[in-house]
Structure 1
């Protein structure tokens, strides 16, 4: 289905009844007051389960917009490789920027991680931010025309976040690594479709943390001789992974 230049919206399952679509109030306001669309206008809606619908607007007010489905198809634009970005928590603006840009690149899951050097030390400090982060992921997925909204996994301490999944490639960016590059690690396991990438906080991981991470099965990799800011490293590494896996061709 050709959807160029049509606005994209992820809607809850309750918005769809047969061929009819009832837009939530916040999206109705956006359609009527921000985008100023009129009856007869068209948008793309997605149900976040892999389905995409082209919808013609029938009634447009600031409180309620309704439409009817013209045609449906499988939602595309999702990567074949499943990249989970495990990000140590940092300043709000930096973390949210990583969520946004990672979504654009095709990251499938994000996991916030706490370590001894993160700026956030308690899960209680971020309990009220989860809804905001989900909203950022949704808006970024709509903007870049993703077929699904990336998952936001619950924040956790480092020791609980480390994942040893059979067949997966688990990597940690480490400024003390001088032998194995990210590109080389990917070339050694070209058939993998499941990748975990752990990105440390400002100041990096402690020696004890690196030891624990390696024991959990993560390979230590480098992005080169220059020291990158953590948000730069996260997006640079995600870009390299998606490119090397053929997701940007």
Structure 2
């Protein structure tokens, strides 16, 4: 049976209260779960449970907790994707594939060469994108539910990068340093063997790429560009490709 994802506030000391109409319908109608069945449950953060169904009704499902343990599928690194806002509906595909490839969070960023500009409909779009992320995490059985953060300007994103150990900035005009070179640097190797989970930000430009001004601002912060290889990738490919390379470097 697939993992049931619930909110942390639905988990008590001895019981789990399933209140989402979608989850209630999925368990009772699709999976045909019945009283006495055991269900794997995740609270979307650090714990996973085995719950036994005690009650089923249209208003909710009650499970008693029969086992609780720390997640065993945590990645050895934390990565967040900062994605230059692409044309619709590419962002939905990017969110889905990025979650499958280990992104802990996705933040859309308005940049100089974005075709789509702020519209006032961002909040509605975020609801849709978060739902896609929630669906994707169920597919890949990730222990944590990724967050789709509110849209940022490029300058706002720059202010956040100081929170990360590394910022990976793939740039089509970079000819000397590849992502592989970066991952083999002494600083990166030390983080990998230190036992501490490195925090990594990946910044991807929109269809038109990065403007000269944006590149200069990044480099002024000591954030150096890297190449993803000889091919120039589409914006909807570059992010997932970078995440896949990180997964190979840190997990395999």
Shift of residue 124, structure 1, vs aligned partner: 2.0
Cα separation, partners in 2 of 1:120 and 1:191, compared to 1, 3 Å: farther
Q: Is the 8 A contact 2:161 2:201 kept in 1?
A: no
Cα separation, partners in 2 of 1:105 and 1:62, compared to 1, 3 Å: same
* Residue segments in structure 1 that go unaligned for 5+ positions in a row: 1-5
Cα separation, partners in 2 of 1:187 and 1:208, compared to 1, 3 Å: same
Deviates more, 1:236-245 or 1:158-167: 158-167
Runs of 4+ in structure 1 displaced over 4 angstroms? none
2:130 alignment counterpart? 134
Pick the aligned partner of 1:51 from 39, 47, 50: 47
* Residue segments in structure 2 that go unaligned for 5+ positions in a row: 192-197
1:113 lines up with 2:109 in the alignment: yes
1:7 lines up with 2:7 in the alignment: no
Pick the aligned partner of 2:141 from 129, 141, 145: 145
Residues of 2 paired with 1:236 and 1:14: CA distance?
Answer: 35
Q: Tell me, what secondary structure is at the counterpart of 1:138?
A: helix
Output aligned runs, 1:147-186, within 5 Å: 147-162=143-158, 163-165=160-162, 168-186=165-183
Residues of 1 paired with 2:177 and 2:222: CA distance?
Answer: 15
Deviations 1:7-26 (A, max 9, x none): 21221233223322221122
Pick the aligned partner of 2:203 from 184, 188, 198: 198
Shift of residue 52, structure 1, vs aligned partner: 0.8
Residues of 2 paired with 1:227 and 1:183: CA distance?
Answer: 16
1:3 alignment counterpart? none
Residues of 2 paired with 1:19 and 1:190: CA distance?
Answer: 43
Residues of 1 paired with 2:154 and 2:25: CA distance?
Answer: 41
Give the count of matched residue pairs.
242
Cα separation, partners in 2 of 1:13 and 1:168, compared to 1, 3 Å: closer
Shift of residue 186, structure 1, vs aligned partner: 1.3
Deviates more, 1:202-211 or 1:119-128: 119-128
Q: Is the 8 A contact 1:164 1:217 kept in 2?
A: no
Cα separation, partners in 2 of 1:56 and 1:128, compared to 1, 3 Å: same
2:249 alignment counterpart? 244
Q: Tell me, what secondary structure is at the counterpart of 1:237?
A: helix
Aligned-residue CA RMSD (Å): 1.9
2:219 alignment counterpart? 214
TM-score, reference length from structure 1: 0.89
Cα separation, partners in 2 of 1:65 and 1:167, compared to 1, 3 Å: closer
Q: Tell me, what secondary structure is at the counterpart of 1:233?
A: helix
Residues of 2 paired with 1:47 and 1:14: CA distance?
Answer: 9
Residues of 2 paired with 1:166 and 1:129: CA distance?
Answer: 26
Residues of 1 paired with 2:244 and 2:96: CA distance?
Answer: 13
